[in-house]
Chains A and B, each alone.
Chain A
Amino acid sequence: MQVFHDAATQVQCQSIMDWKQSGRPVVGYTCSYTPGEIFHAADILPVRLRGIETDGMEVGDTYFGPFICSFPKCILQLAGKGKFSFLDGAIITPGCDGMRRLDECWRKAGEDFKGIVPDYFYYFDVPHKSEDHGMSWYMDEINALIEGVERHFQVNITMDKISAAICEFNKGRRLLAEIEDLRAKDDVVVSGTDVFAATVAGTVMPREEYTEALTAWVAELKKQITSLSRGKKRVLLIGSVSDEIDLFQLIEDTGKAIIVGENLCFGIRYEGCEIPETGDPLSALASHYLGSSVCPRMYGKYKERLQLLKDRINHSKAEGVIMQNIRFCDLHGAENALFKRDLEAMGIPCLRVEREYGPHIDAGRMKLRINAFLERIDARKNPQRRRA
């Protein structure tokens, strides 16, 4: 478990540094629409870029305007401080307006902070729809990405290698799905914090190493019998991008709740779904990464996302949903309002909370609201306590 926590809480974690020391390249990417399998097939380590460990915002605030979410700002801050010096390449995706502007801000910051822009800096243009022409555009983008990676890194990415990469990634996905089943039991033997750490670790660790560690951990979990969920509220955490273990800890450290599932960009939402291992591997990647996307940037698909949320609530037997959004993240902020309206109407208590990403400067306020929410669930379950 420690290896996952190390990978999830340190930008320059040991796994990345070991890989780097072996002389192989590392490419960072900003969004879940980037197929990591392509890089794995080229013996390049794909690392999802994160903004943890920031202790200031002077670089982020210099290039981004004031009304921008703190997640891309934190990434830029780390880039400006040289924390991503291990990167040989970076892929920027128009996941949302803030994230896509990381392209310009990072490049422009590179004019002032020499050497912070990796040699291979690529804009991966992901459409906002998965219908025929959207899918076709995305396929073209994948092909262009492959060509670009081959040319820059002098590698040969064959379809066989991509298929093998899909199989390797799927091993991890199956294991994460097994963990989801464990979390769905009445007696949950694993904390949400640990599961999330393991999931986030999967976005930065070399895949074979990750699969091996995850296999061992799942086997260990299956032997566990001590329930961590007795007397605690089962909650689901959803909303804006988060890779912050602290946020999970904040909720579980109340001692009154256990996170039994999440619907987050870094979470099992994507990592827990398998990709077909037969047929055209590129079509399979496109169908998975674009076609099954449940991000609110895919406008007009609210009902599908609501259904997915309901399924997750049912599967995990969640008693309440905590909906967070980073300030200025309107996509999740507005959608959380609709989720709350619809889920509360079904009798599922929901908490909407706006926050900042990164250092938890408002941890006290968050804790207060989470505690109040957990009491609300409690009062709902035990009406006589509410009357008292």
Chain B
Amino acid sequence: MRPEIREYNYDWLMGSTLKAAAAVPSGSKKETEQTYRYIPNYRKVAETFYSAGEPGVLALKLLATYFQNILTAHDRGKPIAATTFCNSPVLLYAMDVVPATFEILTALGGVLWKRGMFDYMDYCCEIGMTETSCSSQRGAMGAVMSGLFESIDFVVCDTPGVCDTNANAFAFVSEYLNKPFFQLNYPSSIGDDRSQNYHVDDYKAMIRFIETQTGKKLDYDRLAEALTEVDRQDALIADLEDMLLLKPMPIPPLFNLALYCGRFCFSGHPEYTRLLESLVRSARQRVSDGVPGLTSGKENLRVFMCYIDHYTVDMNFYNYLEERGIALTGSILTRNFRDNNKYTEDMPGSSYGINLSSPEAMLDTVAQMNARLPMVRSIRGPYDRPGMWLEESLALAKITQADCVIYNGTPGCRNTWGMVKPFARDMERHGYPTHIMYDDAFDDRVESWPGTRERLDEFFHIRGLL
């Protein structure tokens, strides 16, 4: 690792940057303009968030709070759990644990920081982690394992059987730092009684593990409060998801990122509710004004990202969509599969509901909710089985009137690279032009952003889409 990277802890550096960035728009427009002169490396990112108005600023504040929570956790007597994006933080918050979600921490460094997360990723390889493992964990992991991050207290992951590289990364961190480890494990099926019961049994085991680590029993009143907040949030998300169906779409591409990033960071937290309320307000205003979400004012194309977005530096991917007039109908990360969403009607067993009537009901709620987070929901079994990736992607592409489908991931994503070619062929057979991106969503060294952009343009051009 380069010595200068060791000058500052990653969490402190990012937390301070975001805190300052979130405060800038509180000043006058002139002050903001003046600030740009001093932050040439961050200008493009800052402009992207500020130009989104209140939701953009609230998103920055939420992210700043996320880092501050981590930075102050130990002073406040709270343990930090290393965890993954597809493990809901609701239970962790209810048990007074601060989550450090590796993929979010890596993605933020990627989009906000000119130098990206490369040094941290490489550090993992320096100490023996395979270079072929997923970059989404390796970024934050490198910071944690090199001691440039608050020390974590234990590890909780939930991807064994769904994404080996993810689970393997967490197992590695646990062993390398000698921290306690727990894995939630999902069967290949979903929606049937047997799988549902397995989710609950496994979730109970996770609660026992966290109780052992924290020395505190799960407070069901607190869990009920958090789930009530989730209920409120799900209603707002449903509004946003409904508006993703409108043509032209009133949701700017950046809102997608804010929607799922907020959920992964603060599900069940009022912080996220405030952001969602602002996103809904802003989108509704556009609907009533008859203005599309794209700043260009013209929607040329509707794209469905069947896996994840691209987290290249300077928010380039989102800005590219804006430039080309491409409406983003969402990615696998966008939807929450709550039972009040229309798209779940055609997929029996795909959704979860919220029931607070008893502790058992709450446990069932949170276990089923967790099992329906992105990736662990629909990439757990063979992709062409009912309720799995193909069915989900077709349903979402159809309902959002997508013109085409794009796969983007990381080379470390063994679970999708194992079958994305036949998957893409099936999508094409159903009439959706489908493009497979060979880049790395978190690591521009695999394919430079200009290269990726050129390939996207080529796809849109050759398929007659743009």
Assembled-state Cα–Cα distance A105/B169 (Å): 26
In the complex, are the beta carbons of B382 and A103 less than 8 A apart? yes
Are A334 and B161 touching (Cβ within 8 A)? no
Q: Report the bound CA distance from A232 to B465 in whole Å.
A: 66
Is B414's beta carbon under 8 Å from chain A? yes
Interface residues of B in 193-211 (CB under 8 A from A): 194, 197-198, 201-202, 205
Q: Does A80 contact B (CB under 8 A)?
A: no
Q: How many angstroms between the C-alpha atoms of A66 and B205 in the bound complex?
A: 37
Which chain A residue shows the least CB distance to B171? Answer: A299
CB distance A133 to B198 under 8 Å?
Answer: yes
Q: Mark B34-45, 1 if CB is under 8 A from A, else 0.
A: 000000000000
Whether A101 lies near B176 (C-beta < 8 A) is no
Q: How far is the CB of B410 from chain A (nearest CB, A)?
A: 9
- Docked pose: A328 CA to B187 CA in angstroms: 23
Contact status B201-A132, CB under 8 Å: yes
Determine if A67 and B411 form an interchain contact, defined as CB atoms under 8 angstroms apart. yes
- The 8 A CB mask of A321-347 against B (1 = contact, 0 = none) is 000010110110111111011000000
A327 to B132 Cα, complex, angstroms: 8
**B172: A residues at CB distance < 8 A:** 334-335, 337-338
Interface residue? A53 (CB, 8 A): no
Give Cα A299–Cα B84 distance, bound, in whole angstroms.
15
Tell me the chain A residues, 125-156 only, with Cβ under 8 Å from chain B: 125, 127-129, 131-134, 137, 140
B183 interfacial by beta-carbon distance below 8 Å: yes
Contact B129 A331 (CB under 8 A): no
Q: What residues on B are CB-neighbors of A105 within 8 Å?
A: 418-419, 422
Determine which of A67, A133, A327 lies in contact with B412 in the assembled complex, contact meaning CB atoms within 8 Å: A67
Chain B stretch 379-430: residues in CB contact (< 8 A) with chain A: 381-384, 411-423, 425
- CB contacts (< 8 Å) of B188 on chain A: these are 94, 100, 123, 125
Give the docked Cα–Cα distance between A336 and B161 (Å): 21
Kindly state the separation between the CA atoms of A334 and B182 in the bound complex, as whole angstroms.
18
A57-65, A160-168, A220-228, A267-275: which lies at the B interface?
A57-65
A337 and B181 contact, CB distance less than 8 A: no
Chain A residues with Cβ below 8 Å from B336 are none
Any A CB within 8 A of the CB of B151: no
Instruction: Mark each residue of chain B from 173 to 191: 1 if its CB lies under 8 Å from any CB of chain A, else 0.
Output: 0111000011101011100
B23: Cβ under 8 A from any A Cβ: no
B194 contacts across to A, CB distance below 8 A: 137, 140
Q: How far, in whole Å, are A125 and B185 apart by their CA atoms in the complex?
A: 12
Hey, what's the 0/1 contact readout for B316-337 against A, CB within 8 Å counting as 1? 0000000000000000000000
| Nearest B-chain residue to A141, judged by Cβ | B187
Complex contacts, B174 vs chain A, CB 8 Å: 300
B185 touches A108 (CB 8 A): no
Q: How many residues of B contact A (CB 8 A)?
A: 53
B167: A residues at CB distance < 8 A: 128, 299
Contact B161–A127 (Cβ < 8 Å): yes
Chain B window 122-157, contacts with chain A (Cβ cutoff 8 Å), 1 for yes, 0 for no? 000001111011000000000000000000000001
In the complex where A299-B171, A302-B175, A337-B129 touch, is A330 in contact with B164 (Cβ < 8 A)? yes
Are A67 and B205 in contact, with the CB atoms below 8 A? Answer: no
Q: How far is the CA of A18 from the CA of B336 in the complex (A)?
A: 55
Contacts of B425 in A (CB 8 A): 108
B417 close to A338 (CB less than 8 A): no
Instruction: Flag if B181 contacts A128 (CB, 8 Å).
Output: no
Chain B nearest CB: distance from A100 CB in Å? Answer: 7
Q: How far is the CA of A128 from the CA of B202 in the complex (A)?
A: 11
Task: State in angstroms the CA–CA spacing of A96 and B415 once bound together.
Answer: 9
Partner of A338, one of B160, B175, B438: B175
Q: Tell me whether B282 is interfacial, beta carbon within 8 Å.
A: no
Would you call A330 and B132 a contact (CB within 8 A)?
A: yes
Contact A68 B164 (CB under 8 A): no
Does A297 lie at the interface of the complex (its beta carbon under 8 Å from any beta carbon of B)?
yes
* Nearest Cβ on chain A to B103's Cβ, whole angstroms: 16
Q: How far is the CA of A100 from the CA of B416 in the complex (A)?
A: 11
B133 in contact with A128 (CB, 8 Å) = no
Q: Does A98 contact B (CB under 8 A)?
A: yes
Q: How far is the CB of B89 from chain A (nearest CB, A)?
A: 21
Q: Please tell me the size bucket of the interface on A.
A: 35 or more
Known contacts A299-B167, A333-B130, A340-B128; A97/B414 CB under 8 A: yes
Which of B133, B175, B176 is in CB contact (< 8 Å) with A330?
B133
Asked, given contacts A94-B161, A299-B183, whether A337 binds B127 with beta carbons under 8 Å apart, the answer is yes
Q: Across the interface, do A127 and B187 meet the contact criterion of CB distance under 8 Å?
A: yes
In the complex, what distance in Å separates the CA atom of A338 from the CA atom of B130? 11
Does B256 touch A at the CB level, under 8 Å?
no
Kindly state whether residue B32 has any CB partner on chain A within 8 Å: no
Of A64, A123, A334, which one neighbours B421 at CB under 8 angstroms? A64
Interface string of B270-281 (1 = CB under 8 A from A): 000000000000
- Among A101, A132, A296, A302, which residue has its beta carbon within 8 angstroms of that of B415? A101
Contact of A119 with B by CB under 8 A: no
A335-376 at interface with B (beta carbon < 8 Å): 335-338, 340-341, 352, 354
* Bound Cα distance A108, B428 (Å): 14
CB nearest to A96 among chain B residues: B164
Please, how many angstroms separate the alpha-carbon atoms of A331 and B188 in the complex? 19
Set of chain A residues within 8 Å of B419, measured between Cβ atoms: 63-65, 101, 104-105, 108
Chain A CB within 8 A of B363 CB: no
Is B68 engaged at the interface, CB distance under 8 Å to the other chain? no
B355 in contact (CB, < 8 A): no
- On whether the beta carbons of A97 and B422 are closer than 8 Å, the reply is no
Within 8 A of B (CB), among A15-57: none
Please determine whether A333 and B132 come into contact, CB atoms closer than 8 angstroms: yes
Residues of A within 8 A of B171 (CB): 296, 299-300, 302, 334
Contacts of A104 in B (CB 8 A): 382-384, 418-419, 422-423
Asked whether A133 lies within 8 Å of B128 as measured between CB atoms, the reply is no
B193 to chain A, nearest CB (A): 12
B165: Cβ under 8 A from any A Cβ = yes
B130–A334 contact, CB under 8 A? yes
Nearest A residue to B202 via CB reads A133
Contacts of A328 in B (CB 8 A): 132, 414
5 A-B pairs with C-beta separation under 8 A: A100-B382, A105-B422, A125-B187, A127-B187, A333-B132
Beyond A64-B417, A300-B183, A327-B132, 14 additional pairs, beta carbon < 8 A? A65-B420, A66-B438, A67-B132, A67-B414, A97-B164, A101-B419, A103-B382, A104-B383, A104-B423, A296-B171, A302-B175, A330-B165, A334-B128, A335-B172
Q: What 9 A-B pairs come out closest when comparing CB atoms?
A: A337-B128, A101-B418, A65-B417, A97-B414, A128-B160, A333-B130, A133-B201, A108-B422, A299-B171
Residues of A within 8 A of B (CB): 62-68, 72, 94, 96-98, 100-101, 103-105, 108, 123, 125, 127-129, 131-134, 137, 140, 296-297, 299-300, 302, 325, 327-328, 330-331, 333-338, 340-341, 352, 354
